[in-house]
Amino acid sequence: MSEPAKGARAIHLTAAAEADIGRAVRWSARLFGATQARVYAQTLALALEALIETPTSAIGVNDRGDIGKGLMSLHVASRGRKGRHFVIFRIRRRAGREIVEVLRLLHDSMDLARHLPPVG
């Protein structure tokens, strides 16, 4: 895979977000089978791609200042896809580059604030 152009947007998954994604796909496989798990993994990947393209204006992105300063969420059910998770993220700047920092992938039935690290 090639390096992004200088100044291009990048994405960073925290360890918690990576673990959340793995759990969501494994859960989907246990309940719905391997084929559906692959479909859901693709749904999650498309949500992350949307954040790289247009993090603050992607369809379904919401400012979540109610749960933490600078936080935003994207429900993965978009672009005709079904899903029950929120991508919780924030935008950072490092070395002149915009970084989409994905903090968690949380089920939409969860109390989101309870499962987030302190944001500062």
Q: Which CATH architecture has domain 10-112?
A: 2-Layer Sandwich (3.30)
pLDDT of residue 1: 37
Report domain extents, the chain: 10-112
Count CA atoms within 13 Å of residue 60 on its CB side.
19
pLDDT of residue 94: 85
Model confidence over 6-59: pLDDT tens digits? Answer: 446 899 999 999 999 999 999 999 999 999 999 999 999 999 998 988 888 777
| Residue 2 predicted with pLDDT over 60 | no
> To the nearest whole percent, how much of the chain has pLDDT over 90?
55
Judge contact between 29 and 38, C-beta under 8 A.
no
